[in-house]
Amino acid sequence: MRYLQLSLIIVILFSSAANLLAAPKMRPYSGIGVLQISSVGVTDALQLYNDPGIARCCRVETTTIKELNSWLFGADQPPSLLVTARKGDWLEVEHDDAGRSGWIMQERRWTYTPWEQYLKGKQIQFLRNSPKKLIQVVARPGAAEGKPLPPKQSMKVIMGQGDWAYVLLDQSSGGWIRWRDSDGRLLVGFEASLTK
């Protein structure tokens, strides 16, 4: 009888661990835009600061940056960081899964793009863990009721406006979707990341 109980406990523990490993990543805060880091000429690590130009906080490997958001932007894209604030040429970026941030001076070969510009022309899809009530297309931004969308519906962004984006669902239909929720967390993923 003890062996049966012990076996049952082991099975439950392994199934719980497997479920935790398979759980989707938490939707990150969108911030104000995206910093794409050109891999040409980038050293092995980026130096981040607690404040712009003051008190170095940490070094982040470029391979770590590539892995950090590849699930969101696609593995074939340049390493991309979510930008949370800007002061002149300095950008505050999230550098790990816990949402910790640091400041980095933007280099000439890197590209910072505010969200409304970044979204335009992108193929997007709702993330797996987006709330079902937000996976819908509406006639205008802010409308409460809309048409529910299939979870894996691919859409092309025509324009962004605040938390909303006008998208084409196919060649003959379009509408507005929320691309981030009221807390500022992303609801969508981009391009090559859609198949994951």
Per-residue pLDDT tens digits for 100-124 = 899 999 888 899 999 999 999 999 9
What is the pTM assigned to this prediction? Answer: 0.78
Q: Where are the domains of the chain?
A: 33-115, 120-195
Distance CA 159, CA 185 (A): 19
What letter does residue 24 receive in the DSSP assignment? Answer: P
Residues 177-187 pLDDT 10s: 999 999 999 99
CATH class, 33-115 region: mainly beta
Contact of 175 with 147, CB cutoff 8 Å: yes
Which among 151, 142, 152 has a CA at the least distance from the CA of 177? 142
Matching fold, domains 33-115 and 120-195? yes
* Helix/strand/coil (H/E/C) assignment for every residue in 36-65: ECCCCCCCCEEEEEEECCEEEEEEEEHHHH
**Positions of the chain with pLDDT under 50:** 17-22, 193-196
**Has domain 120-195 been given CATH number 1.20.120?**
no
Helix/strand/coil for 77: coil
Helix/strand/coil for 4: helix
